[in-house]
Amino acid sequence: MDSHRVTELASGLASRINNLAVASLGADSRALLAQQDELANQTLALIARDLNADTEDFQHAVAALQAATDAAEHAGRQLQRVGDAIKLTAKAISAVAKLLA
C-alpha cells in the first residue's frame, strides 16, 4: 500500500467533517470543527513523515480513517447520524495519533 494513502484519507476526512460541521448546529457543530482542526494538523504532520505502510499502526489508521469517511458520507445524507460520524472520527484521530507517536 502506498504510504501517501493515510495522508489522503486524513485530508479527505477533514473536508467531509468540515462539511458536516457547516450543516450541523450547536455542540455537534463545535465537536466536528474541533475534529476538523485536529485532522488538518495531523495531515500536515503526516505529510512531513516517511511512514512505513507495512506496519500494523498504519493499517489500523487507514481502516479507521476509511470507516470514519464512510460514516461522514452517510451522515451527510442523514444528519441524524452525525453522532456516529463524530465517534468514528474520534477513533480515526486516535489511530493517526498513534501512528505519528
| pLDDT (tens digit per residue) in 2-23 | 778 999 999 999 999 999 999 8
pLDDT tens digits for 27-68? Answer: 999 999 999 999 999 999 999 988 888 999 999 999 999 999
* Rounded distance between C-alpha atoms, residue 32 and residue 27, angstroms: 8
What is the per-residue pLDDT for 59?
A: 94
pTM of the model: 0.84
Q: What is the pLDDT of residues 60-92, one digit of tens each?
A: 999 999 999 999 988 877 877 888 889 999 999
Q: Of 72, 95, 76, nearest to 85 (Cα)?
A: 72
